[in-house]
Amino acid sequence: MQNPNIFLAYAPAGPGLLCALLYLADARHVFGWFIGPRPDGETVRRYFLLEDFYAPGATRYEAVSDADLHSDWSLEEARRHALASAQEAFAREWLVFRDDPRAPAELEAYEEAGYAAGEVIVRFERLAKFYTAHPVWTYYSPQFEHEVLRELARHWPLEYRLHPELASGPHPRRAPRSCP
């Protein structure tokens, strides 16, 4: 399985985690998972498909809840299994949920540092990998494609919106760097 591309946005003086995103790609499509708060503060998590993202013409967005990953939607079953495995590894490596046994120690580290911690938090040790020059700290994996984030942010229900320099301007699509 290919390594997923990931993006996280965190506001240490605000609500905490704004979004966490991972995606995989094949020759035509991008498929992945995201989590973050909606404008009403409720945390939402979805699996998604950007169908024909790398093809000429329109891209179609489709998303399902965690519980519906293996339901009847456009992503083929083999891709669903790869996506579920990637999501589990990503969440284990990068995120902590309030009901996780690691949560008390993580929350204590956040409190000592004076950082915000929401319903879902980034593992404290991972914050050292973030770019911290702006009020919203970000982390991008090395092969992450900003065009994917731009397209996805047009559709998702998350409150997080892109930094203006990423949200505007022409960004031509390119072929994914690796295909399974």
Per residue in 83-125, pLDDT (tens digit) is: 999 999 999 999 999 999 999 999 999 999 999 999 999 999 9
163 CB-near residues (< 8 Å, 6+ apart): 134, 136
Closest CA to 4 of 72, 111, 92, 109: 92
pLDDT-above-90 percentage for the chain: 83
What is the Cα–Cα distance from 153 to 160, expressed in whole angstroms? 8
pLDDT of residue 163: 60
The region that residue 102 occupies, defined by phi over 0 for left and psi between -120 and 50 for alpha, beta otherwise, is alpha
Mean pLDDT on 47-65: 96
Residue 75 to residue 179: CA distance in whole angstroms: 16
What pLDDT sits at residue 170? Answer: 37
In order, the DSSP letters of 98-147 are TTSTTHHHHHHHHHHHT----SEEE-GGGGGGSB-SSSSEEEE-TT--HH
- Integer angstrom CA distances of residue 135 from 11, 27, 58, 129, 152: 6, 36, 34, 15, 22
Arithmetic mean of pLDDT over the chain:
90
Q: What residues are paired with 179 via a beta bridge?
A: none
Sort 25 into a burial class: Cβ within 10 Å, 0-12 / 13-18 / 19+.
buried
- Structure confidence at residue 173 (pLDDT): 41
Cβ atoms within 10 A of the Cβ of 79, count?
17
**pTM of the full structure:** 0.89
129-166 pLDDT, tens digit each: 999 999 999 999 999 999 999 999 999 999 998 765 44
CA 86 distance to own-chain centroid: 12
